[in-house]
Structure 1
């Protein structure tokens, strides 16, 4: 018995949803194809009906998640207050603990560096995010917007990575607070 195109598309989305969650939590190398398929409620067998390889899944899942993150910027007003709210949400205790639902850049950038087949998709999506970030919110000037957006986002990503890495909650909060103070 065959599956309808709608069923196949639904399963594909399930695989992507569970894969990105697991990749964000454990990294690309920390999850096997069998685990990904099991998390999606499927057996290992049909994986290759959906993806040519684990690497193609990694690229597609990362692209989808980075597009979602870019779309989330539209939920904020294009004002200084909207930009401050984005910084506050990003540099929050909730974001430290929510690796599986958090920023794909902070969770996976160090692994992307070692995954040549994913770098193109990551680069294209990061450029698109920076462009949207730079054009969505007000900056010192239009000339400096891209550079200011890169600086702000890189600072936030770095702060989140460090806050997640330390085993001292007070110090983690200090990292977030000091970074936030200098960005908004």
Structure 2
């Protein structure tokens, strides 16, 4: 069964979202391509239809998570940002926490 361009784009976005969470949770070296694709619900072989390398995915996943962080912080002043950033929930929620950490 052939996948439409729209479905292929949605699949890619899902892989990037999943990678973003797993890379933050386990670190770049702590996630293999096979594990990542299984977590996203796809086969290992399908990875290379979307990305040239794991490093390419890492760059895109980092961009995605940084954009989400910026969007979430847009409405906050400095004190509000610090109140959110320096919490146990933020510290303990590695998969949704700081991209840079």
TM over 0.5: yes
Whether 1:101 and 2:96 are equivalent positions in the alignment is: yes
Q: Partners in 2 of 1:26 and 1:64 — Cα distance?
A: 17
Q: Residue 13 of structure 1: CA displacement? A: 1.0
Q: Which has the higher contact order (CA 8 A, sep 6+)?
A: 2
Q: Structure 2 residue aligned with 1:83, among 73, 78, 83? A: 78
Whether 1:35 and 2:35 are equivalent positions in the alignment is: yes
Q: Partners in 1 of 2:51 and 2:75 — Cα distance?
A: 32
Q: Residue 10 of structure 1: CA displacement? A: 1.0
Aligned residues: 101
8 A contact 2:17–2:64 mirrored in 1: no
Q: How does 1:43-54 map to 2 (within 5 A)?
A: 43-54=43-54
Q: Residue 7 of structure 1: CA displacement? A: 0.7
Q: Partners in 2 of 1:14 and 1:4 — Cα distance?
A: 15
Q: Residue 32 of structure 1: CA displacement? A: 0.3
Q: Residue 50 of structure 1: CA displacement? A: 0.4
Which structure would you say has the larger Rg?
1
Gaps of 5+ in 1: 77-81, 107-184
What CA deviation, in whole Å up to 9, does each residue of 1:48-72 have, x standing for no partner? 1100000100011001111221222
Q: Partners in 1 of 2:99 and 2:9 — Cα distance?
A: 23
Q: Residue 73 of structure 1: CA displacement? A: 2.2
Q: Residue 94 of structure 1: CA displacement? A: 0.7
Q: Partners in 1 of 2:16 and 2:75 — Cα distance?
A: 23
Q: Which residue of 1 aligns with 2:12?
A: 12
CA-based RMSD: 0.9
Moved over 3 A (4+): none
Please give the secondary structure, in 1, of the residue aligned with 2:29.
Answer: coil
Q: Partners in 1 of 2:61 and 2:12 — Cα distance?
A: 10
Q: How does 1:130-149 map to 2 (within 5 A)?
A: none
